[in-house]
Structure 1
Amino acid sequence: MHDIRRLGLQVFAAPNNLTGEAQIQVKAREIDFVTSFGKNLKALLDILGITRMIRKENNSVLKTKTVKGELQSGDVGEGEEIPMSRYTVEEKPFDTIKIEKYRKGVSLEAISEKGYEAAVQDTDDEFKSDLQNVVTGKFYAQLKAGSLTGHETTWQMAVAMAIGKVVAKFQKMKRTATGVAVWVNTLDVYKYLGAADITLQTAFGFKYLTNFLGADVVFVTSEVPQNVVIATPLNNMIAYYVDPGDSDFAKAGLEFTTDSETGFIGFHSEGSYDRMISDNFAIMGLRLFCEYLDAIAYISVGESDTQTLGTLNITSEAGSEAGTTKLTVKEQLMSMRNCWKYKDAAATTSVTYGMDVKNWSKWDGESEIASTAGHHITLVECDQNYKAVRSGDAEVTVNPGA
């Protein structure tokens, strides 16, 4: 029989892996992070009339649709064949949805200086906001790629025409718009309202008004350029997600806390002794997505001759074969009817808005280009009439070969 006095205090030590107060606090923090993130997104989905997220497998290709066809007249003589109206739906890959990984840390020094609650809460809120911006940023990029383009002389008319264009487009597709969402620049709204006071509500980083300017919901943001109005039917928008609570992650020792009700995001926190920080990890695969690009109106405002050339951010790196370069463009085409054109020259080629680039070389957005080191490639996005709308330039880097 053991002599308890000889064993000393070890008899009373807590057993290994006991769930204590510290572990409970960490778990509560993880739960708070994912539930508040989910509630914010759910609030936006409710405003947009999206009743549920659609689950996708990791690395699923998201495709936009374009409906083509015209209604044929049935006004024919007795016994004559009635013309058939044919409609086709063309699908085009737009992007890929996949699990994305993020990490942030809170140092021991920050916790010591500000206290645990302040240091952790401040960084958690900022982390959460940045993750929301990842989702909204991709959504804005697609909205700006809408192909129902137009031009109006006044801002009020641009709003009205944007709404009218998307409703009419859905009617042609034999669909009924359940409502219309509009995106406008913050300064444009206040310029329109003058001294009038308005109260903006917020959901998932979107500031909005309901039943305003003839739209069901108007989002007010600096993400939309001044003198631009964007609109789309509410039922053109879909929400996709990749499940961050995949059981295979847990089997691999990667456990994340998720919200059982929404499952939008996974979050995990743990101490890292080698760097003395509180390590925090988030994974998510979320997309707000418009099914039909040609049901997104992008209407500019002002006199046509005052429009300015947009900017493209492009980079050049060595291609896979000798004498070739690989271009990368940060932006997407603003319209499915637009295309890329480029000119390879010893110096930058000057471009102005509306400039005709029909005779420039066409680029498919992927293929490597044969060029010369030190040359400049000027890339232009042009409309269906080959008129320049955006432009960028990069000094060429080529594969020098053996």
Structure 2
Amino acid sequence: MAALDNTILAENIAKAQDIEMITRFNREMDRLTEVLGLFPPEIVAAGTAMFQYSVTGNLNTTTVNEGDEVPLSEYNVTPTQLDPITIKPYRKLTTAQSILKGGYENAIEKTDRKMIGQVRNGILTDFFTFLGNGTGTATGAGLQATLAQATAKIQDETEKNDDFSGSIVYFVNPYDIADYLANAQVTTQTVFGMTYIQSFLGVENVMVTNKVAKNTVYATPVENVHIYGIDFSTLGDAGLAYTTMDGSLIGVHHDGAYNRTSSETYVLSGALFLPEYKNYIVKGTITDPTE
């Protein structure tokens, strides 16, 4: 017998679960790109070689006499190869017993939220590993001086390369900024798992996260941060039908594991946040201003 019209099928419920997880992730991702002004993700094939670069060189300003050959200006772009962009699969299985005992929201929705938060956390962890490859350094007595020195270092480095730093984003440890926040009238918001402060201590775009070590500041131009994602449509052609949305960096699929009387959640991450030019990354060290 054919199913009745408007029957709610199991696959409809699973699809709604997929969309809920994707929407939650994308909402945070969209907010991050909005507040920092990042470019949309660039889609690349899994296995694509990824690089960070250092740019050096100077304009040859030798005076050229009439009719003489113009001397060459020499520039070098030195690449450092990173691991290829890879897919990172995750899976969660929730038994029927736990669903019946704790209810759908506790057993599925809350654990889905936790799972997607930890996937996001993994993406950020990789990003801060890449920030650690930066070649710029700065030191200041206290947080405010360190932010100023990091800014100066970036401006000097970009100007030497006839480039423009534009907007700069700063990453600081919560403990290094806690005393300032206690005595300042600032507005904070949570953006992609970090605390975002739009304007503070004379700089814009401060991100507060424990992924930065205490007494350390990272700074880089916003234009230096690139976002890459894999092509999920290719996986769909092969029968791996992850649910995605426009610009998605992750794919999600819920399914019933009847052989285990359970519900399964699959998440596939193909996201990479990459600060591309190493000499445009500054690691600032905060020293005690009383010493």
**Which TM-score applies when normalising by structure 1?**
0.66
Q: 1:2-401 to 2 correspondence within 5 Å?
A: 13-14=1-2, 20-74=8-62, 84-246=72-234, 249-259=235-245, 261-302=246-287
Q: CA deviation at 1:301?
A: 1.9
Q: State how far apart, in whole Å, the 1-side matches of 2:215 and 2:104 are.
A: 45
CA displacement, residues 288-342 of structure 1 (integer Å, 9 cap, x when unaligned): 1111011100011227xx9xxxxxxxxxxxxxxxxxxxxxxxxxxxxxxxxxxxx
Q: State how far apart, in whole Å, the 2-side matches of 1:20 and 1:251 are.
A: 27
CA displacement, residues 68-103 of structure 1 (integer Å, 9 cap, x when unaligned): 113444468898877543112122212311222111
For structure 2, the 5+ residue unaligned runs are none
What letter corresponds to residue 253 of structure 1 in structure 2? G
Q: State how far apart, in whole Å, the 2-side matches of 1:213 and 1:181 are.
A: 13
Q: CA deviation at 1:206?
A: 2.0
**Residue 25 of structure 2 contacts residue 116 of structure 2 at CA under 8 Å; is this kept in 1?**
yes
What letter corresponds to residue 256 of structure 1 in structure 2? Y
Distance 1:187 1:174, change over 3 A: same
Q: CA deviation at 1:168?
A: 1.8
Distance 1:251 1:239, change over 3 A: closer
Q: State how far apart, in whole Å, the 1-side matches of 2:269 and 2:214 are.
A: 32
Q: CA deviation at 1:274?
A: 2.4
**Residue 245 of structure 1 contacts residue 266 of structure 1 at CA under 8 Å; is this kept in 2?**
no
What letter corresponds to residue 45 of structure 1 in structure 2? T
Q: State how far apart, in whole Å, the 2-side matches of 1:136 and 1:145 are.
A: 15
What letter corresponds to residue 287 of structure 2 in structure 1? G
Percent sequence identity is 31
* Higher relative contact order, structure no. (Cα contacts within 8 Å, ≥ 6 residues apart): 2
Q: CA deviation at 1:152?
A: 2.7
Q: CA deviation at 1:214?
A: 3.0
**Residue 229 of structure 2 contacts residue 272 of structure 2 at CA under 8 Å; is this kept in 1?**
yes
**Residue 170 of structure 2 contacts residue 219 of structure 2 at CA under 8 Å; is this kept in 1?**
yes
**Residue 64 of structure 1 contacts residue 293 of structure 1 at CA under 8 Å; is this kept in 2?**
yes
What letter corresponds to residue 253 of structure 2 in structure 1? H
Distance 1:27 1:167, change over 3 A: same
SS at match of 2:164: coil
**Residue 139 of structure 2 contacts residue 149 of structure 2 at CA under 8 Å; is this kept in 1?**
no
Structure having the higher Rg: 1
CA displacement, residues 244-285 of structure 1 (integer Å, 9 cap, x when unaligned): 232xx33543211111x2232211111112222211111121
Distance 1:91 1:19, change over 3 A: farther
**Which TM-score applies when normalising by structure 2?**
0.90
For structure 1, the 5+ residue unaligned runs are 1-12, 307-402
Greater share of helix: 2
CA displacement, residues 147-178 of structure 1 (integer Å, 9 cap, x when unaligned): 10233333221110111111221122222122
